[in-house]
Amino acid sequence: MEIKELVLEIAQKAREASQALPLIDSTRKNKALRAMAAALEKKGPAILRENRKDLQQAAAAGQPRAFLDRLQLTEKTLAEMAGGLREVALLPDPVGEVTGLWLRPNGLQVGRMRIPLGVIGFIYESRPNVTVDAAGLCLKSGNAVILKGGSEAIHSNRALARLLQEVLIREEIHPGAIQVIPTTDREATAELLQLEELIDLIIPRGGEGLIRAVTAQSRIPVLKHYKGVCHIYVDEGADPVLAEEVCFNAKVQRPGVCNAMETLLVHRRAAKKFLPAMVARFREAGVEIRGCQETMKIVGRGTGLRPAEEADWYEEYLDLILAVRVVPDMTAAIRHINRYGSQHTEAIITRDYDRAREFLKTVNSSVVLVNASTRFNDGQQLGLGAEIGISTSKLHAFGPMGLNELTTTKFIVFGQGQVRS
């Protein structure tokens, strides 16, 4: 079959499934999710066998260690995937939830009811566990999903798709609910992105290159974030111990993720006391510092600092590198964030009531924190349950997206014969 026909057939099947899925009650969806978890545990060895084919290909192609790490499935990651599905089964079902019901003067009772979006196209790279995570969240929220993973994980993804499909059929759920595009052809993605009549939303997950390419091609709305240039601003009078712990956590605990701090902004009157100890601690942990002129002066040359260049303020290092800038006040910090930031995650460390409120009000990033680590920008951590991604576009969802963000609301109206005059 030609790629074009193949993708169209998959999308039509997904659309069909999306008409049946909103009517399946939670009990049945949860049973299917738990059956998928059990199948993952039972058929683990077969999945790992297919994953090894991907690993061998990647190794033969000379891919670096980090790439292989992301690609590799183990008994532990399989157990985590199964655990994730069981967690999603425990989350409340968003479909059918009525968010508010109000009475109009004419006696009409008006409310909003959550319904699934329909068909979601999920385009991602490397990590095959995303296949299972995304499938679980879409099923629970009543959406059909079309998964297009990277060519590097094709064997793993096909094996996982087969397993999920078997469970769907056994549980008598439309098999169009979860489908993997079983080809590595790039044309398949291009084709998928044209089917605006059949697919309601595209979620890309991967590097900035992938996301930009998807956005440029897509005729379907895309929920995305390009990058996370996250800032912490340490205010005048901030608790230095608290500031140090939060900044250290935000940079070092997991530097390769989008909610890690990339630039530290320090109030001039806090800098002399705070920066030398903070930088020393970062240096000990292997963090390379790129400082502004004032930082260099305060911490002192010969401490291994590099001067920051203009380009550093834009940089998402995703590594043990940190840009540091001394600012005259909070206004300057916010100006810096507006200019160089990516509207992802920003934090202030302060003891000042007014500035805490002002920062929360003025900074329009998807998550804005007072006295807490930027690493908390995560659906699980913020209490949404599992997340399907983070959006830094403001439309539909801004910030981490959980089950609710995979739904929309329709208006429901209870009347007793009301007409309009």
Q: How far is it, in rounded angstroms, from Cα 153 to Cα 347?
A: 36
- CB nearer to a second copy: give 188 or 232: 232
Q: How far is the CB of 68 from a second copy (least distance, A)?
A: 26
Structure tokens at 54: 């991907």
Query: Counting contacts by CB under 8 A, is residue 65 touching a second copy?
Result: no
CB under 8 A: which stretch of 5-13, 173-181, 226-234, 380-388 binds a second copy? 380-388
Query: Counting contacts by CB under 8 A, is residue 331 touching a second copy?
Result: no
CB 256 within 8 A of CB 369: no
Q: How many CA atoms lie within 13 A of 290 on its CB side?
A: 17
Q: How far is it, in rounded angstroms, from Cα 207 to Cα 205?
A: 7
Task: Measure CA of the first residue to CA of the last residue in the chain; give whole Å.
Answer: 57
Q: How far is it, in rounded angstroms, from Cα 406 to Cα 145?
A: 11
Mark residues 283-322: x for contact with a second copy by CB under 8 A, - for none: ----------------------------------------
Considering only 213, 365, 388, 402, the residue that binds a second copy (CB under 8 A) is 365
Q: How far is the CB of 143 from a second copy (least distance, A)?
A: 11
Structure tokens at 39: 């199948």
Separation of CA 309 from chain center: 29
Helix (H) or strand (E) holding 349: strand 345-349
Q: How far is the CB of 401 from a second copy (least distance, A)?
A: 11
Q: How far is it, in rounded angstroms, from Cα 52 to Cα 144?
A: 29
Q: How far is it, in rounded angstroms, from Cα 276 to Cα 286?
A: 15
Q: How far is it, in rounded angstroms, from Cα 220 to Cα 9?
A: 18
Q: How far is the CB of 396 from a second copy (least distance, A)?
A: 4
Query: Counting contacts by CB under 8 A, is residue 398 touching a second copy?
Result: yes
Type of residue numbered 154: I
List, in sequence order, every residue forming a beta bridge with 143; answer none if it has no partner.
none
Q: How far is the CB of 108 from a second copy (least distance, A)?
A: 6
Query: Counting contacts by CB under 8 A, is residue 370 touching a second copy?
Result: yes
- CB nearer to a second copy: give 61 or 419: 419
Q: How far is the CB of 417 from a second copy (least distance, A)?
A: 4
Mark residues 10-39: x for contact with a second copy by CB under 8 A, - for none: ---------x--xx----------------
Rule CB under 8 A: which of 240-269 touch a second copy?
A: 242, 245-246, 248-250, 253
Q: How far is it, in rounded angstroms, from Cα 232 to Cα 251?
A: 10
Considering only 44, 94, 118, 228, the residue that binds a second copy (CB under 8 A) is 118
Beta strand 178-180 pairing with 109-116: unpaired
Q: How far is the CB of 217 from a second copy (least distance, A)?
A: 12
Angle between helix 353-362 and helix 330-340 axes, rounded to 10 deg: 20
Q: How far is the CB of 412 from a second copy (least distance, A)?
A: 5
Q: How far is the CB of 397 from a second copy (least distance, A)?
A: 8
Q: How far is it, in rounded angstroms, from Cα 399 to Cα 345?
A: 9
- Written in H, E and C, the secondary structure of 118-131 is CEEEEEECCCCHHH
Query: Counting contacts by CB under 8 A, is residue 367 touching a second copy?
Result: yes
Considering only 200, 235, 315, 387, the residue that binds a second copy (CB under 8 A) is 200
CB under 8 A: which stretch of 7-15, 67-75, 103-111, 156-164 binds a second copy? 103-111
Q: Report the interface residues with a second copy, using CB under 8 A.
A: 19, 22-23, 96, 102, 104, 108, 110, 113, 115, 117-118, 200-201, 221, 239, 242, 245-246, 248-250, 253, 338, 360-362, 364-373, 375-377, 381-383, 393-396, 398-400, 408-421
